[in-house]
């Protein structure tokens, strides 16, 4: 994978070196950080200068959770993959809510990490503005539903003209719903629309992202536009 720059954030020097060396063998350019504070410096002040971030959670200086939040403030699209010894479902759910894209528990298979990075990069390319794989109905099209407007080319979303910042997955979920406002989407269908991959997760994965969307919409009073159809999935609620 030429020209793909990965930031590896891991305070265990041995694990950091093993991960970076393995990724380099697969053609990735790697920058290593050994603390959350060092990662914050490498991320800079504006746009994230990396194509992928692979990070532990328990980091000195700046916790992994804070690092994810910082990345999402600056770039809604860069894939963030967490590697952690924490195995509780609540930890994974909390990280997904913050905007992490994937989660691997330690010990993990290095080849699986490579595959997961490649999946995230394919997905990002597929949904990039103007790409052939973008699922937008037409280049530059706007999708409207009640007070919502979603622009499929600029990948922006607004409520009554006020921009709402979304992660890549959140945007893709809303795009699927807006393209078919009368349709009930199963969680499997939403997953496959949003991730661009065959369904390979539990129901909580989609639930967490829908919950996160609703939280962002709550200040505008439009969080109720997404209706839960019990036993089936989600749809948009007509006025």
- Mean pLDDT, 10 residues at a time, the chain of 239 residues: 85 94 93 94 84 93 90 84 83 78 87 88 65 46 89 88 88 91 87 77 78 92 92 85
User: Counting Cβ atoms within 10 Å, is residue 136 exposed (0-12), middle (13-18) or buried (19+)?
Assistant: buried
pLDDT of residue 46: 74
Exposure of 219 by Cβ count < 10 A (0-12 exposed, 13-18 middle, 19+ buried)?
exposed
pLDDT at 203: 62
CB 20 within 8 A of CB 8: yes
Which strand (E) or helix (H) includes residue 52? strand 52-55
Give pLDDT, residue 126.
Answer: 59
Instruction: Output the pLDDT for position 120.
Output: 83
Residue 157: the pLDDT is: 92
> Which pLDDT score, from 0 to 100, does residue 180 have?
87
How far is residue 200's CA from residue 39's CA, in Å, rounded to a whole number?
A: 30
| Structural domains of the chain in order of their starting residue, each with its CATH number | 5-126 (3.40.50.2300), 142-236 (1.10.10.10)
**Residue keyed to tokens 């330690």:** 106
Q: What is the pLDDT of residue 6?
A: 95
Instruction: Please name the residues in contact with 223: beta carbons below 8 A apart, sequence gap of 6 or more.
Output: 213, 214, 215, 217
**What span, in angstroms and rounded, lies between the C-alpha atoms of 140 and 17?**
44
How big is the CA angle at 121 (ends 31 and 28), to the nearest 5 degrees?
Answer: 35
Give the pLDDT score at 92: 76
Does pTM top 0.85 for this prediction?
Answer: no
Q: For residue 202, give the DSSP letter.
A: -
Q: Are 124 and 116 in contact (CB under 8 A)?
A: no
Name the residue among 15, 66, 21 with its Cα closest to residue 39.
66
Q: Which pLDDT value is given to residue 101? A: 85
pLDDT score, position 202: 63
């Amino acid at each position: 994978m030429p020209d793909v720059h990965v930031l590896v954030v891991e305070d265990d020097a041995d694990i950091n070196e093993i991960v970076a060396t393995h990724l380099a063998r697969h053609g990735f350019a790697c920058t290593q950080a050994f603390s959350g504070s060092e990662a914050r410096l490498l991320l800079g002040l504006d746009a994230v200068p990396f194509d992928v971030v692979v990070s532990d959670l328990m980091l000195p200086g700046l916790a992994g959770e804070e690092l994810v939040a910082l990345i999402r403030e600056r770039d809604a699209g860069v894939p963030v993959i967490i590697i952690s010894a924490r195995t509780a479902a609540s930890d994974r759910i909390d990280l997904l809510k913050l905007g992490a894209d994937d989660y691997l528990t330690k010990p993990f298979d290095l080849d699986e990490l490579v595959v997961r990075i490649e999946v995230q990069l394919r997905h990002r390319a597929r949904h990039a503005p103007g790409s052939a794989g973008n699922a937008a109905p037409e280049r530059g099209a706007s999708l409207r539903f009640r007070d919502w407007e979603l622009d499929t080319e600029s990948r922006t979303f607004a409520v009554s003209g006020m921009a709402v910042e979304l992660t890549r997955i959140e945007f893709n979920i809303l795009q699927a719903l807006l393209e078919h406002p009368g349709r009930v989407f199963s969680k499997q269908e939403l997953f496959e629309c949003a991730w661009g991959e065959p369904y390979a997760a539990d129901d909580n994965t989609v639930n967490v992202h829908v919950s996160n969307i609703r939280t962002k919409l709550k200040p505008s009073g439009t969080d109720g536009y997404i209706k839960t159809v019990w036993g089936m999935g989600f749809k948009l609620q007509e006025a």
